[in-house]
Each structure stands twice: as structure tokens, then as C-alpha cells.
Amino acid sequence: MSETLSFFDQVNRNFDKAAAYTKHPRGLLEQIRTCNSVYHMAFPIEKDDGSIEVIHAWRAEHSQHKLPTKGGIRYDHRVNEDEVMALSALMTYKCAMVEVPFGGAKGGIRIDRRDYSEGELERITRRYTYELFRKGFIGPAIDVPAPDYGTSAKEMSWIADTYLALAQHDVNALGCVTGKPVSGGGVRGRTEATGRGVFFGIREACADAADMRALGLAPGIEGKRVVVQGLGNVGYYAARFFSEAGAVLVGLAEREGSIADPNGLDLEAVVAHRRATGSILGFPGALDLPDRTSALELECDILVPAALENQITEENAPRLRTKIVAEAANGPVTAGASEELYRRGVMIVPDMFLNAGGVTVSYFEWLKNLSHIRFGRMEKRFEERTNRRLLDVVQKLTGHSMTEEEIHDFARGASEEDLVNSGLEETMVTSYQKIREMRRRHGDVPDLRTAAFIVAIDMIAVTYGDLGIFP
């Protein structure tokens, strides 16, 4: 069957597949899958040369079963209404899956950021924020954006600054957006959160000896051959954490092309080469591949598509030579390609779980903004003093003396970044186990994606029941 479904239709196709395993009323299921609100805006901005350009942008709020809604903003020339609806739906299910109390949202501006100066990008971002504000599509209790493809902490700081100017009496105004610089109300650990979450999720999947045996793999990350598509924020950090855990990077892909080396690529050296030359191609000792999708077909144990949606389709899925597909991007594998890979016994660790590290740590940032206190500030020194007293007792009882450096290392209280990373790890580990248990409970559930959707649907249905909307 050829794929003609839109991105949003593909999300709903996966939803319907999972909903068939539940016993919720049809009306409730229809409410859960429907996109509640979509705002399409067109506004003018003045370019540096004095000309006027009309910019098209969107914000979709898929579900307000919990408030605020939450979702990133992407800058890309392919942004369209269907895409933001689909991504907002995935955010709804993702937040429910990892028990982050947000509804799903997503936004996008249809531009290629390479065509605009920094001043023009700032004017576009600030005007977009104003348009969201005047229609009630942004606020710490309403809808909280975050970075996505083509955006970073810089754009989030522009959004926060604009919102603060518009909502001068909102004491929680900094909570209107996450992914901000730490100096501007952000949280330590947010930059690498999504990539770190990808690593935690795959590490947990690879720890299941039975599942690895079925794939012909040994448990653990060490020694596994990994290919990463996309060296943006998500792909770079995922690749870094896999390398640090002993995995072998045999292929990397970016927009300009792909490179491969069966003996392993030095990630930092590749990044330095790209910084110097503008391309990963031509990296010493690596083989240049025909195009940026060629790396997807390299033989490996773990394939990490960390770029955009619809990268693995019915057309190229039969040529994939991997045991595990780790969906670091949103919707990188189409519905038809998923079925083809499942038939071949490939494990797909789904996006709605695997890239939830970003929204999880965004949740921590939002909590920090609302509580107006840095994580660890209250307890860090108390923990250190308590730990030092315990170490003093241990030294007396054992007769073994430790150096001051050893005592400092052992007694150190948790910093904000320690607590954030610990909370992220707990979220990814427990969420994977929920998915795995759901799949085992329903012996006829064919894959982890369906199991994850069932978990999410059940969580959202409980919320509607608690609100008294459905029996």
C-alpha cells in the first residue's frame, strides 16, 4: 500500500490502532484524538533592506485536558498547518506517556532561517509572540512554547522578553516559555535534555536481555554500532552520550550529506571539521556517502533518526539494515514503514516516548519559574553536612582515613543539574517499563508504539473522568 496519508492522519492511524485495545467510549476517544484549536497568522515584517515581507506562522493546541499546553516552535520553510497539528497531537500523547501535566501544542514559522539576518529573525520572533499574546495562545498557565527544529535558547529569550513587556503584572511571566538561557530563567541540563533522554531510553531498552536476545544482540550499549541522522541539538548529544557509553559511531548524516567509518567516527573531530569547512563531508578517514539519507541504510545495531519527520518510508524501509530504530525526531518513520519494519523484526522505540526528555526538563524549568527558586538551593549544603557526618562515623568505625578530596567527592550535595538529570533518568526508565509492561499485558499488541499509545490514551481518559466530563 502506498502512503498518501498526511502527517496528522498518520498520527491518528497509530492512535486508532491503539484505541482498539481499549474499552473507552467512542465519544471520549474522538475527543482525545481531535485537535482542539489551530491559529494561522500572517503578519508583515520589515527586512534590513527596508522591504516588507509577509510571514506565515501557526500555533496548534491539540488538547486542553491539562493546562498549560506545551510544545516547541520550529522555523522551517516546510512548516504547514497539518504538520503543527500532528506534532501537537504527539505532544499530547508524549506528555501523558511520561506523566508531565501538560496538554499538547506545537508552533511553527514558515521560513528558512538561513535567508534572514539575526535582526530580522528577532523581529519575526517578537511579532510572532505578540500575535500569540493578543489571541490568548501564550502564557505560563495557558500555552508554553519551547525550542524545536531551527530554534534555540536565543529565540526563547526573545519570546520571554516580549511576553514580559506585554504582561507586566504577571509575577510568573518567565514561565511563558522554556528552553531559555540559564541566565534568563532557564534550567541547567535543558540544552542536552532531549539527547540525554534518547540515551536513557535506549539504554533501558537494551538492558532487557529477552528483547535483545530476540534481536540477536547482547544486553547493554557498549560495542553496539550506532548511526545518527542529524547533528543538531538532539542528534549531537545523543551521539555524544552513546560514544561515552562505549558505542561505536559508524555513520553520521547532516543536511549536506553522510559519512561512514566501520571502525568508528570521532564525534568531536567530525564536529570540529564541520565547523572549519562547513560540511561533514571530506572528514579524514571516512567514506562520503551519496546523500544525507544514505546513512539510514548503513548496517548497524541502533539507527537514530534525529532530524525531521518522514525520513524512513515504505520506499527505503526494505533497505534498512538495523536491529533497533530509535526515534529521536518526531515522526521520522511513516506508518507504512513502521509496519514493514515490524514484519522484519526490527524494534522501533517510539518518538512519543524516546524524545520526551525535552518536555520533561522543560517541565522542570517551568516549575522553577513558578517556584522562583533554583533547584538544590535549599538542601545542597544541608546534604553536604549530613554526608560529612556520616563519613566521619564510617572513618571512626573502620579506622580508614579518607583524603579531603575523597570526602568532598563523596559528601557533595546535589546541584540543580544533578537533580534535573536524575529526574530525567527516573522519567525515562519508569516510562519505558510502563510501555514494556503494557505490551506484555496485551500479548497481541504488536509493537512498542501501540503500547505507548495505549498508556497515553488511558492516562488522558482518566483525566477526563476525574474532570467529570465522561463517565
- What does the DSSP 8-state code read for residue 287? E
Three-state SS at 83: helix
Cell of 389: 557526618
Give the number of C-alpha atoms closer than 13 A to the C-alpha of residue 182, restricted to the C-beta side: 10
Domains in the chain (CATH in brackets) are 37-184 (3.40.50.10860), 193-351 (3.40.50.720)
Give the number of C-alpha atoms closer than 13 A to the C-alpha of residue 173, restricted to the C-beta side: 16
The verdict on whether 106 is a catalytic residue reads: yes
CB atoms within 10 A of CB 417: 16
Distance between start and end Cα atoms, the chain: 39
Q: Which of 106, 323, 368, 434 is catalytic?
A: 106
Three-state SS at 311: coil
Per DSSP, the chain holds a count of helices (H) and strands (E) of: 16, 12
Q: Classify strands 302-305 and 225-229 as parallel, antiparallel or unpaired.
A: parallel
Cell of 324: 533497533
pLDDT of 387 reads 86
- Burial class for 295, CB neighbours closer than 10 Å (0-12, 13-18, 19+): buried
Dist. CA 139–CA 183, nearest whole Å: 20
Q: Classify strands 143-147 and 103-109 as parallel, antiparallel or unpaired.
A: unpaired
pTM, to two decimals = 0.90
Q: Which amino acid type is present at position 200?
A: F
Three-state SS at 12: helix
Which residue, 151, 306, 152, is CA-closest to 242? 306
Dist. CA 218–CA 138, nearest whole Å: 47
Residue 427: enclosing H or E segment and its boundaries? helix 416-441
Is the sign of the CA dihedral 367, 140, 469, 34 positive or negative? negative
Dist. CA 188–CA 318, nearest whole Å: 41
Three-state SS at 224: coil
Contact 228, 235 (CB under 8 A): yes
Is the sign of the CA dihedral 226, 228, 234, 237 positive or negative? positive
Residuewise pLDDT in 10s, the chain (471 residues): 445 789 899 899 999 999 999 999 999 999 999 999 999 999 999 999 999 999 999 999 999 999 999 999 999 999 999 999 999 999 999 999 999 999 999 999 999 999 999 999 999 999 999 999 999 999 999 999 999 989 999 999 999 999 999 999 999 999 999 999 999 999 999 989 999 999 999 999 999 999 999 999 999 999 999 999 999 889 999 999 999 999 999 999 998 999 999 999 999 999 999 999 999 999 999 999 988 889 999 999 999 999 888 889 999 999 999 999 999 998 899 888 998 999 999 999 999 999 999 999 999 999 999 999 998 888 888 888 898 888 889 888 998 888 888 888 888 888 999 999 999 999 999 999 999 999 988 887 779 999 999 999 999 999 887 656 654
